[in-house]
Amino acid sequence: MILVTGGAGYIGSHCVRELKERNMDVVVYDNLVTGHIESVPSDVPFVKGDIFDVELLRETFRKYGVDSVIHFAAYSLVGESMVNPAKYYHNNVAGTLALLDAMIAENVKYLVFSSSAATYGDCGDGLITEESPQHPTSVYGQTKLMMEQFMQDYDKAYGLKYVALRYFNAAGAHKSGEIGEAHKPESHLIPIILQVANGTRDHIGIFGDDYPTPDGTCVRDYIHITDLADAHIRALDYLKHGGKSTYYNLGNGNGFSVKEVIDVTEKVTGRHIERTIEGRRPGDPATLVASSEKIKRELGWKPRYDSLESIVSSAWKWHSTHPHGYEK
């Protein structure tokens, strides 16, 4: 049985859906602070709880016979992390420590962890590999790096086997259009642009057009949510077959600027996207593009949705039919 923390959130719910489609046993653990119970399949066991609640975690491990964890539960807003670092250190760092302690106490030895490209910080224009320097430029990125470091120590001391997946910009939605991205407030680029397209937002603000990039706007690597879910499942299978603890980048290997994403969205939706130029956002590197050659080589993973148009199209299927997310 696989426990998915944050399994009612955007990435977690897609991972749960992918696990179910492969007939794997899963239980969702989520406090529903940012998650949506509507995104959890009705036939999947659900435990409402916090990752600080070590006793409830241990009870859940025992009740469902959990042998592995996929860990998504974390706050993830870069800007917010810079003005409220205590919230991020408390939840992301201390919360993960509580989870690890519960796992060790119940002899749960396999962990796939949702890390982030934010652990690298600003690496310049080249492709970022797993060996690129990790110098986070945001508190959010720093919390993810600290979590990775904890896991290294827990592996050495307690034999906890983990895979940290450092992914870049998750985007898109499930092929069914039944679940998708719905944050409050929304901070991710593609859903914000699509909110302009579906009329629930007036415009998109571009945070800076004076970066050292071809058109002056930030460049990012976008990866489809279903491809992310597939990578988590492959990583867990790798661990269960004796794999050593490791870490992988997850991305498409292609960078797109903010302006390019807006242009593609206009093409996909057939609607004009009003835009304004605003000041830079603290903690944002100019360019983040992944080399995912390591996971392709070692786990046989490759993105199925490898074009920006396919990613935006799947997201539009969700946003055009759910303009207010999971709200009725």
Please report whether residue 183 resides in a domain. no
Give the structural domain span for 272. Answer: 189-219+253-321
CATH number of the domain encompassing residue 141: 3.40.50.720
* Domain match, 95 and 212 both: no
* Domain match, 244 and 267 both: no
Q: What stretches in the chain show pLDDT beneath 50?
A: none
Catalytic annotation, pick one of 29, 88, 140, 238: 140
Q: Is 140 a catalytic residue?
A: yes
**Domain end residue (candidates: 250, 266, 291):** 250
pLDDT in tens, 129-182: 888 888 887 888 888 898 999 999 999 999 999 999 998 888 999 998 889 888
H-assigned helices in 128-243 = 139-158, 189-197, 225-240
How many helices and strands (H and E) does the chain possess? 11, 13
pTM of the predicted protein model: 0.90
Per-residue pLDDT at 283: 66
Please report whether residue 328 resides in a domain. no
